Amino acid sequence: MDINLNDLLRRYKSHPFEDYKLETPHTGIISFKVEDGQPVKGPSGKWLHKPGTLLYVLEREKNPKRIYAPCSGEVVHVRTELDGQFVEAGEELLSIRHRLDKDEIIDRILTQVLFIFGAPQRARFFLIPEMATKIERKSSGSICVAPGDEILIMSLMKRDTMIAYAGEPGVIYKVYFKSGDLVEQGAPLLGICSPEKLPYINKVIQRIKTEWED
Amino acid sequence: MADSGKLLTQLADRISYLIDIKGDAKWANLDELLDRVHGLRQSLFDITEARLFEELDRIEERVSFLEDRVAEKLSPAEVVNIVRSIQRFTLQDVLENVYDSYTELGGEGECNIDPAMVVARAIISRRVKNKLYRHQVMVIGHEKGRGEEFRNGGCARPWGNDKALRYMRVAETEGIPIHFFIFTPGSFPIEDYPGAAQQIARNLYVMSKLKVPMVSFISEGGSGGAEAIGLSDIRLMGAMGYYSVISPEGAAAIEGRIREGEKLPKELIRHCAAQLKMTAKDNLELGTIDRIIEEPPLGARREDYGFFRRLRYEMIRATDEVVLKTKSFRAFRAYALKQRAEEGKDIPEDFDVAIAWDLSDLEIERLLELRSKKYRGLGKRGYIQLKKGLRLGLGRARDMATKGYYELRYGLLRPHQRNVQKVIEEVSGEGTVFLKKVTEPVRAAYDFVFPKLERPRKVSAPESMERRSIFAEDWEQYVSPLANEDRTVTCPNASKYGCLDLWVPDLYGELCGVCPSCGHHFPLEYQWYLENLFDQGSVREFNTHIVSGNPLNFQGLDARLKRDIKRTGRKSAIITFDAEVKGIKLVVAMLYSDFRSGTVGSAEGEKFVRACDRARTTRRPFLAYIHTTGGIRIQEGTLGVVQMPKCTVAVREYIDSGGLYMVVYDNNSYAGPVASFLGCSPYQVGIRSSRIGFAGPRVIRETTGQDVPPDYHSARNALKRGHIQGIWDRREFRKNLYDALVTMGGPNLYYK
């Protein structure tokens, strides 16, 4: 938890982007379909079934493979000198500069500062009644948990199992599920942070929410 | 003044109706006329009565003139508008005005399994010589409602059609006739259980042999949705109704290759409506309906009580006709009924005869025979027969001889043989038990002293040695022409499972078009199956003389047919043949993609029925292998749609006589055929990577307003929904087919 939130925030403010470097999946002759600075779209649709913008075509053994943008953003560092050339596998071709929005930055900060307690298996989860009432009354920020505390109920096929918390002691900062939700294995259930950092995190999140422009 | 208010409302309704029909408020300044009526309504108390009535007379005169002008020449697109108008009568009006009383079953109003499908027990009465006769009937039909959202515009969901089927069975148990009223633009195309296509298929399958008289009335007959309750003994149709294979908008989108979301040109819609031959008159000419019920010149509306009187009379008369046809002694009554029919426009107050609508066992048998004959005869004019005169006669003589031979072999001799065999088996079984008790100790001692030496098993020649190609010479093996390219392809699942690129000669050669990493099946041509599925030289085609035609003279179809005939060297989208799988003889019908995307028209339907009958005559299993089908051929209009009940009747009769009917879907199988003669099979299997469904994703999006996941129609999902019974790998198709034939067919295959 030795993370300087101010530094983290400053870093995101000075460079609110994430660069996705794209490499060739295999050898072939490349022909680019985008230019430097061109905005591109990532996959869309409810099931992300509509491909994003076509970036380049890589042809090997008369098999033209169309490569689409994996996320939205702006194309940078296109290696135009490779256009029409044979390239090896793993060759860096271009980057997509993806501008992070407010929620993405909050998510990134939280994943760095919180301890995430994930679902042990795919099931429905409930907080134990006392915990649920406490959270309802006080909001999650002031409820402490320690390793070994039985705070969750996992319900599967009408069989309820108590789940003991395992991880760093601290306060519950965020509950990622609603009582009775079906949660996939490994998906986050609780975000825990140390009590001393709590006011500080709250302040930073609040600042991002109010000041950040998407 | 109170009367003038009513008159104004009526005038506004009449003008709105004209706007509905023309689909354009600007036509003959109808919008201005409507504004004048609204203006009068607002200033009702500001102007004198004399001026008001003077103005009303003027507007009324103008409206009547315009009505006459519209009625003079109604285009098919305008007929569609009449049917879709909010002022058109609905099933609710029919139930209230045609029947004496009724009780709705399976829910009422919004509180219903499916509010778009209404079922009611009703009483309809007739007066004969001052005596009232009441008949109990089951009324089943679509309810479009009066703008209520829950009615879904009369589009029945799969469970709505299931509800209809349930009450058809109730009517059968109770022995009362069924009156169907079809008011649907089409079925709601969702795959949720029981599935749009599969449920329509089940309905058709049951209706083909339902043991009660059935009469249907069509106002809006939208393709598969209409067929779900349309297989009846007499089909009546409103003079201003439409019955079509597809909506004019759907046809326009296909014909004009209009992209999703783009606006359809009105002119193209009108053109398609005219080409599809969907009006009552067209359908009567095509033979897809039996009679037209006259309507007022601009179609019947909710308050047209004269029309309801006529409808009541015609429903009774049609039911009488169905019942009378089953009677052995009916001459006078049938004559009386016919006389009445010829009277034309006047509806008599009384009926001459009272006919009871219950049937004896013998009459039911006759009813089913007549129904079968009726549907088997549909669409005969939709295809071309190349054989004529002497050759046709010779063909028929050969068919009769074959029938005679198989009747003798399986109908007469086989049952005796089986009975004798059964007796022998039972006697020998008894004897074995008895002898075993006596000889057991002796045999045990003998085996101990002289142990048996194990004999080597017979070595059979490898299967590949026996095979001989019909597309390749004896010395060469059949290889898909797709393999003749020196390049690689990428598996569509490569990003998900990391499949490596595949070299085409390998993929379409020894890999049989299957990705070795994930098992994805790349499409292969139908010849590959003919070659690899059946025994060497066993494929023998029949009925090649039946050729796809253009019965409606649909613009552009002739050229497309010519092109497909030239390209494929075949004359229809179906291949019917005798074949063998590891020595088991079977009859196969194969719909394939290269010819009009495997769509089913009159020729395909006729060939399918004949193949079914051949399997029945020769007592062989019947396999429908669907390489691809795009549904019913829309360019054949309702002649295409009637192939659904026609083929289902043939399938039902084949299965009832003890046949084994199997369907295997490959690539893409959609719409009409799946919703009828394919979907009704008890044994349906999908080849891996195939897609099975009722409507494609675009139609679903446009109809339901909801997007569907990319794998919505996948074989895996079809299996999950219970639409198919298994998924086969292409490489094991032959083996699985043989196993299935042996397992499901039993020792004699044709198991009755």
Chain position carrying tokens 């809006």:
B220
Considering the domain architecture, whether residues B541 and B600 belong to the same structural domain is answered as: yes
Where does a domain end: B73, B104, B123?
B73
Does residue B453 carry a pLDDT above 70?
no
Domain assignment present for B292: yes
Summarize pLDDT for B372-381 with one digit per residue, the tens.
999 999 988 8
Domain assignment present for B452: no
Considering the domain architecture, whether residues B255 and B362 belong to the same structural domain is answered as: yes
Q: Which residue of A has its CA nearest to B709?
A: A47
Query: Is there a contact between B490 and A60 if contact means CB atoms under 8 Å apart?
Result: no
Summarize pLDDT for B180-237 with one digit per residue, the tens.
999 999 999 999 999 999 999 999 999 999 999 999 999 999 988 999 999 999 999 9
Cα distances from A172 to residues A108, A168, A205, B747, in angstroms, run 18, 11, 16, 69
Considering the domain architecture, whether residues B16 and B117 belong to the same structural domain is answered as: no
pLDDT confidence band for B559 (50 / 70 / 90): very high
Considering the domain architecture, whether residues B55 and B101 belong to the same structural domain is answered as: no
Domain assignment present for B286: yes
Summarize pLDDT for B693-738 with one digit per residue, the tens.
999 999 998 888 888 999 999 999 999 999 999 999 999 999 999 9
Chain A contacts of B707, Cβ < 8 Å? Answer: 45-46
Summarize pLDDT for A21-42 with one digit per residue, the tens.
999 999 999 999 999 999 999 9
Chain B contacts of A62, Cβ < 8 Å? Answer: 485-488
Considering the domain architecture, whether residues B46 and B168 belong to the same structural domain is answered as: no
Domain carrying residue B495: 481-517
Check: CATH 2.40.50.100 for A17-99? yes
Query: Is there a contact between A63 and B501 if contact means CB atoms under 8 Å apart?
Result: yes
Chain B contacts of A65, Cβ < 8 Å? Answer: 490
Joined tokens for residue A163: 């789940």
pLDDT reported for residue B343: 52
Q: Which residue of B has its CA nearest to A27?
A: B501
Considering the domain architecture, whether residues B499 and B536 belong to the same structural domain is answered as: no
Query: Is there a contact between B488 and A63 if contact means CB atoms under 8 Å apart?
Result: yes
Summarize pLDDT for B267-288 with one digit per residue, the tens.
999 999 999 999 999 999 999 9
d(CA B52, CA B39): 11
Average pLDDT of B40-49?
A: 84
pLDDT reported for residue B4: 81
Q: Calculate how close chain A gets to B452, using CA atoms only, in Å.
A: 57
Considering the domain architecture, whether residues B32 and B164 belong to the same structural domain is answered as: no
Considering the domain architecture, whether residues B660 and B677 belong to the same structural domain is answered as: yes
CB-based contact (8 Å) between B261 and chain A? no
Where does a domain end: B342, B359, B376?
B376
Q: Which residue has the higher pLDDT, A189 or B469?
A: A189
Average pLDDT of B53-78?
A: 92
Considering the domain architecture, whether residues B500 and B531 belong to the same structural domain is answered as: no
Considering the domain architecture, whether residues B509 and B576 belong to the same structural domain is answered as: no
Domain assignment present for B751: no
d(CA B603, CA B28): 46
d(CA B364, CA B21): 44
Query: Is there a contact between B501 and A61 if contact means CB atoms under 8 Å apart?
Result: yes
Summarize pLDDT for B341-352 with one digit per residue, the tens.
555 567 877 787
The letter for the amino acid at B253 is: A
Measured between alpha carbons, how far apart are the two ends of chain B, in Å?
78
Q: Which residue of B has its CA nearest to A68?
A: B495
Q: Are B637 and B277 in contact (CB under 8 A)?
A: yes
Cα distances from B241 to residues B12, B71, B553, B555, in angstroms, run 24, 14, 22, 24
Where does a domain end: B73, B108, B130?
B73
d(CA B261, CA B704): 14
Cα distances from B633 to residues B242, B247, B595, B600, in angstroms, run 18, 13, 11, 5
Does residue B154 carry a pLDDT above 70?
yes
Chain position carrying tokens 């598996």:
B491
Burial class of B580 by CB neighbour count within 10 A (0 to 12, 13 to 18, 19+): middle
pLDDT reported for residue B351: 82
pLDDT confidence band for B747 (50 / 70 / 90): low
Q: How far is CA A126 from the centre of its chain?
A: 24
pLDDT reported for residue B651: 97
Say if A17-99 and A103-211 have the same CATH topology: yes
How many structural domains comprise chain B? 4
Domain assignment present for B143: yes
Domains of chain A: which residue ranges? Answer: 17-99, 103-211
Q: Are B597 and B560 in contact (CB under 8 A)?
A: no
Considering the domain architecture, whether residues B556 and B504 belong to the same structural domain is answered as: no
Domain A103-211: which topology?
OB fold (Dihydrolipoamide Acetyltransferase, E2P) (2.40.50)
Average pLDDT, chain A: 89
**Chain A interface, Cβ < 8 Å to B:** 26, 45-47, 49, 60-63, 65
What torsion do the CA atoms of B106, B110, B113, B119 make, to the nearest 10 degrees?
40
Nearest CB neighbour to A63, from listed B487, B707, B710 = B487
Residues 6+ apart with CB under 8 A from B377: B287
d(CA B589, CA B578): 9
Output the CA torsion sign for A56, A60, A65, A71: negative
3-state secondary structure of A85: coil
The CATH number for B680's domain is 3.90.226.10
